[in-house]
Structure 1
């Protein structure tokens, strides 16, 4: 799973597409991505346009790290409704009181904003994962092991002081939310996010069922097995159809249309930190944020062993873009910058 920031990476193909008509832009985007299945879906003020390779539009795709936007929205929903607070200790949520750590506690906010001080993955993850690194590295690392690893972990720096992207941290957040609400992860996500938004073709359960897209390795030919997520569900388990992805993004554009989630949808758009050289990168609770002439745009990427995804929206233009592809690009990645180009040319 990854959540790379595509800022400044718009390709020559994407730039050319920006100068054409909306339908031509999407057709050019689909053709720019060399993958067995490619879909680019755009909503502008609620009017949808979808372009896809044959048979791809109705499939359900693995989102990888773009799943974190659903987890962040879930946290915001639970905080807005008073079930918990952003600054609750994650360790306290997970079980009985333990001896205090030598540093400040890691909070739920630290986990979702990648400021917990935790590494990208648990220290004991790699030994079991390396033999399956290009297929299913997460499958053999269950929930109880994730929680144990967190409770033993020593942050590399004081929580809240530095940004470091961490699948470990967001995965722990999922277990903390489940423990705090005494609700299993899949049921909690369904009850608090998926059902209120009407996302009936979105799931965190199972993998490789009928209607799921089949991923491919970097060569675009070798099939990749369906993602088995183990204890990392909160960091990468969501699978969805392109139309459900647009529904999810449209809710972020018009929060008032989903009253149960309106407060949470506004909350995940607020900037919470800046990082990088000159503090150039802005982050909300869950999204990368980039300035445009039309106001801020928000986006997140994701990848699994055989698929990639891009989610983005710009409230100033009323535009939402979902892109998915069934190939894990490792070099000369045309997918992410092309999707990013569509977001800035679709409004």
Structure 2
């Protein structure tokens, strides 16, 4: 049964493909590429994990001594790549008919509140078109005393929703794009309110358990199995990331294999519990920038390659970074993770992006 259409205009997509049945990349060549990528990242711990037509290859390394638990079995903080889970969750709730995406976020959070004539909708929040700033105006004042240790943890859920309800966008919702952690955080609280389910349980019940992501969670659970982040020097450890009221925008932590499972579901949605939603989040919904070169779906950034589109999202916490991406034209998924946060001249994102963009057969 086909799902319900999303409440924002889709863009014609004439490059959507199913993964081809071509031969896998030579193992030795792939492993050499993975080793070079891990070395280029130059982090205490690094993992590059590739799935090609469902066949997985991982390479782990780092400048630090190997941890007691194998690097490929640790859970890593993925920061803003969490938004790919949040976008898929919204699409899944829409496809199930539980929401339309056109609901007013303010009405979800404060029932009975007078609704604006042009309200910010759930769809505006996930597409960064709500007219919201990246963070609330008072975030920095509250976060400053713990800027290097726990800035988001000082801004709890009630402050996130209050900041949203008090804010008056400068532009009509839906007319301009501006990346907003605040917006996606608000979306998480709005979805929880609309469904009457706490965010952690909503995500687990609708996505994590159905997709078999048992190594994925929203908070640190065990120092032995949670990767330890490091500052820019690659030596100073950081505390586990506390997302505070921004869970939907950056709280997910997961193992490399769980993240590959997540991406493999995007490459081949058939037979998964949320197949319609997985197909929906590959559909372009807006274009921006010079020549409309930047294309976005409800969960992913989308760039062209010679063979077809690649979908990706990166993320960072105080001491870790992540890059998730997949290419339907080559049947390739990439998970890149590291335990160092770069502030400038970042080799991590550039290395991961180039790895995915490169034709695996070249």
TM-score normalized by the length of structure 2: 0.88
Could you list the structure 1 runs, at least 4 aligned residues long, displaced by more than 6 angstroms after superposition.
Answer: none
- In the other structure, the counterpart of 2:193 is 179
- In the other structure, the counterpart of 1:132 is 146
- Measured in 2, the distance between the counterparts of 1:209 and 1:181 equals 33
- In the other structure, the counterpart of 1:91 is 106
TM-score normalized by the length of structure 1: 0.92
- In the other structure, the counterpart of 2:56 is 48
The offset of 1:332, in angstroms, is 1.8
- In the other structure, the counterpart of 2:328 is 315
- In the other structure, the counterpart of 1:305 is 318
Task: Tell me if structure 1 keeps the 8 A contact 2:107–2:115.
Answer: no
- In the other structure, the counterpart of 1:248 is 262
- In the other structure, the counterpart of 2:339 is 326
The offset of 1:92, in angstroms, is 1.1
- In the other structure, the counterpart of 2:75 is 60
- Measured in 2, the distance between the counterparts of 1:346 and 1:274 equals 25
Give the 3-state SS of the residue equivalent to 1:274 in structure 2: strand
Give the 3-state SS of the residue equivalent to 1:205 in structure 2: coil
Which of the numbers 143, 150, 168 marks the counterpart of 2:157?
A: 143
- In the other structure, the counterpart of 2:291 is 278
- Measured in 2, the distance between the counterparts of 1:34 and 1:325 equals 9
Which of the numbers 262, 268, 271 marks the counterpart of 2:281?
A: 268
| Structure 1 segments unaligned to the other structure (5+ residues) | 1-19
Give the 3-state SS of the residue equivalent to 1:216 in structure 2: coil
Give the 3-state SS of the residue equivalent to 1:256 in structure 2: coil
Deviates further, 64-73 or 149-158:
149-158
1:188 aligns with 2:196: no
**Offset from partner CA, 1:26-46 (integer Å, 9 cap, x none):** 000001111100000000000
Task: Tell me if structure 1 keeps the 8 A contact 2:153–2:244.
Answer: yes
- Measured in 2, the distance between the counterparts of 1:25 and 1:99 equals 56
1:288 aligns with 2:301: yes
The offset of 1:50, in angstroms, is 0.1
1:341 aligns with 2:329: no
- Measured in 2, the distance between the counterparts of 1:51 and 1:313 equals 18
How many residues end up aligned between the 2 structures?
A: 326
- In the other structure, the counterpart of 1:168 is 182
1:32 aligns with 2:27: no
**Offset from partner CA, 1:49-76 (integer Å, 9 cap, x none):** 0000143211100000000000000000
Which of the numbers 238, 244, 256 marks the counterpart of 1:230?
A: 244
Give the 3-state SS of the residue equivalent to 2:235 in structure 1: coil
Task: Tell me if structure 2 keeps the 8 A contact 1:186–1:205.
Answer: no
Deviates further, 67-76 or 88-97:
88-97
Which of the numbers 134, 149, 153 marks the counterpart of 2:167?
A: 153
**Offset from partner CA, 1:187-222 (integer Å, 9 cap, x none):** 000000101110000111345643000000111111
| Structure 2 segments unaligned to the other structure (5+ residues) | 1-27
The offset of 1:98, in angstroms, is 1.4
RMSD: 1.2
Task: Tell me if structure 1 keeps the 8 A contact 2:128–2:177.
Answer: yes
**Offset from partner CA, 1:237-278 (integer Å, 9 cap, x none):** 1000001110000000000130x2000000100000001122
- Measured in 2, the distance between the counterparts of 1:308 and 1:44 equals 23
- Measured in 2, the distance between the counterparts of 1:147 and 1:207 equals 26
Give the 3-state SS of the residue equivalent to 1:57 in structure 2: helix
- Measured in 1, the distance between the counterparts of 2:353 and 2:251 equals 23
Task: Tell me if structure 2 keeps the 8 A contact 1:306–1:326.
Answer: yes
- Measured in 1, the distance between the counterparts of 2:281 and 2:149 equals 32
Structure 1 residues 193, 79: closer, same or farther in 2, change over 3 A?
same
- Measured in 2, the distance between the counterparts of 1:97 and 1:44 equals 50
